[in-house]
Amino acid sequence: MSETYPPIDPPRRLLFGPGPSMVAPRVYAAMSRPVVGHLDPFFFEITEQIRELLGYVFSTGNHFNMAMSGTGSSGMEAAVANFAEPGEKFALLTNGFFGERIGEMARRQGADVVRLETEWGAALDAQECRDFIRRERPRVVAFVQAETSTGVWNPSKPICEAAHEVDAIVIADCVTSLGGMPVLVDQNGIDIAYSCTQKGLSCPPGLAPITVSPRALDRRRARTAPVHSWYLDLTLLDTYFEGHRYHHTASATMFYALREGLALIAEEGLEARWERHRRNHLAFVAGIEAMGLKMHVAEGHRLWTLNTPCVPEGIDEAKIRQYLLQERGIEIAGGFGPLAGQVFRIGTMGYGSTAENVLLILRELEGALKQQGYRPTGDAAAAAEGALSAGVS
């Protein structure tokens, strides 16, 4: 071939969708460092630092913490494949798309999936969950702590307490909460928690952090049926990260990125980071409500990392998203499934969760809505600034 191919020059986007989120400059810098082999001693120094930092960010004393090669869905499938056994009862507590995905994975593992389903946009009811778990007496209980499809925050502690009463282990999807909201694995009693790198951790997609409690590890060791997935077998992965024996060719570059993202969280401090996300989320909501828009999720059950304002009547949300991307270089997302066309999904997470970015996205969203004929009822930026200056509580 005689053609020349100049270096790629991707457009610069402001990522305000549900993920990927904006990447921290220190993370970008780490990704430019020299690659080492996947069995190099330096690589295992990095993975050991990641193991320790994940314990801090998950708020757990678990030793079994690792970042798996793959996106958040690989963490989900590893959690399900290692702990859902053929013919055993698997209780799914679901109120969104990613809860449904867990259930489909469990079904494919041959588990007997029993479901407690709640409306998309409503939080799981603690007492309903307790009653369901006590009645069904499953071996595994799974739920999504932070449902990315709806912006809902689900209660963890009552689910875990009821599950442990019946000797079940608990899987929690923390994809949109880790690094931005209090996951609190040990305090809540979560046995297996997994996440991703491209949301609250401010890294590119490509790895799936996971933590497993000693109780769950005992269950895994007692398993009689083989895990159907070789690549996602946690025992085999442990021989790689802990035993330093070859399993697969991991990307040193992605592990550098994650190490830096986690280090940034440790340097900021978890509580300070949670407070930053909470404060910016509340300022965003103040601005949305000043515009005359409503939030899809009730107060007290909203994610701080991902906001779901309702699309005003008569507005085509796809045209809003198209305008913001093409004209302003800003990415937001729409709803899907039952919420298609009804909500915007706007992320304020990780490195991108700043007061300046909240004011920016409110201003740009307001401008896009006005282009379609919507007339705001108030000043979004002034409301958000007022909330920020008042230290919203």
Tell me the pLDDT tens digit for each residue of 330-345: 999 999 999 999 999 9
What's the mean pLDDT in 289-314? 98
Whether 14 is covered by a domain: the verdict is no
313 to 285, 372, 376: CA distances (angstroms) = 19, 11, 13
**Where is the domain boundary, 236, 267, 298?**
267
- Band (pLDDT 50/70/90 cuts) for residue 1 is low
Q: Which residue has the tokens 């340097």?
A: 267
- Comparison of pLDDT for 389 and 211, the residue scoring more: 211
Q: What percent of the chain has pLDDT over 90?
A: 97
Beta strands 64-69; 207-212: pairing state: antiparallel
Contact call for residues 332 and 16 (beta carbons, < 8 A): yes
To which H or E segment does residue 165 belong?
A: helix 157-165
Whether 190 is covered by a domain: the verdict is yes
In this predicted model, what pLDDT tens digit does every residue of 30-64 receive, in sequence order?
999 999 999 999 999 999 999 999 999 999 999 99
171 and 154 in a single domain? The answer is yes
254 and 328 in a single domain? The answer is no
What's the mean pLDDT in 262-268? 98
Contact call for residues 352 and 27 (beta carbons, < 8 A): no
181 and 314 in a single domain? The answer is no
In this predicted model, what pLDDT tens digit does every residue of 67-97 receive, in sequence order?
999 999 999 999 999 999 999 999 999 999 9
Q: Check whether 116 has a pLDDT greater than 60.
A: yes
Whether 12 is covered by a domain: the verdict is no
SS3 content of the chain, % helix, strand, coil (to 5): 45, 15, 40
In this predicted model, what pLDDT tens digit does every residue of 196-211 receive, in sequence order?
999 999 999 999 999 9
Contact call for residues 137 and 109 (beta carbons, < 8 A): no
Domain count, the chain: 2
Residue 223 belongs to a domain with what CATH number? 3.40.640.10
Q: Check whether 393 has a pLDDT greater than 80.
A: no
DSSP state of 339: G
Secondary structure tally for the chain: helices H, strands E: 14, 14
- How far apart CA 325 and CA 341 sit, in angstroms, is 17
Question: Range of 282's domain?
Answer: 269-389
Beta strands 146-147; 152-153: pairing state: antiparallel
- How far apart CA 196 and CA 20 sit, in angstroms, is 10
Q: What percent of the chain has pLDDT over 70?
A: 99
308 and 209 in a single domain? The answer is no
183 and 273 in a single domain? The answer is no
- pTM beyond 0.85: the answer is yes
107 and 250 in a single domain? The answer is yes
- Band (pLDDT 50/70/90 cuts) for residue 390 is confident
What's the mean pLDDT in 166-187? 98
To which H or E segment does residue 188 belong?
A: helix 185-188
Q: Check whether 262 has a pLDDT greater than 90.
A: yes
Q: Which residue has the tokens 């739920």?
A: 143
186 and 246 in a single domain? The answer is yes
